[in-house]
């Protein structure tokens, strides 16, 4: 069971960028290039903040206890 969960989580994180890219392109289909860039910068900043929080404080966050 642990192998299944570990493999599933790895595959989820490998496939997520492709899913997010397709959703971004679908949602911003009618947006201007300026709006797409602005949204991409906001999303990138948000992801970086979340990644840094998890990097520095992830060991203190208890998901299952």
* pLDDT at site 45: 93
Q: What digits encode the pLDDT tens for the residues 9-23?
A: 877 777 788 888 888
DSSP-derived secondary structure for 14-56: HHHHHHHHHHHHHHTTTS-HHHHHHHHHHHHHHHHHHHHHHHH
Span 42-62, pLDDT tens digits = 988 998 998 898 888 877 777
Query: Would the pLDDT of 37 be above 90?
Result: yes
Report field, pTM of the whole predicted structure over 0.75: no
């Amino acid at each position: 069971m642990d192998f299944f969960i570990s493999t599933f989580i790895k595959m989820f994180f490998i496939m997520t960028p492709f899913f997010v890219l397709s959703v971004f392109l679908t949602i911003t289909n009618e947006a201007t290039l300026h709006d797409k860039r602005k949204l991409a910068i906001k999303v990138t900043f948000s992801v970086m903040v979340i990644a840094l929080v998890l990097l520095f404080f992830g060991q203190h966050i208890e998901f299952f206890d």
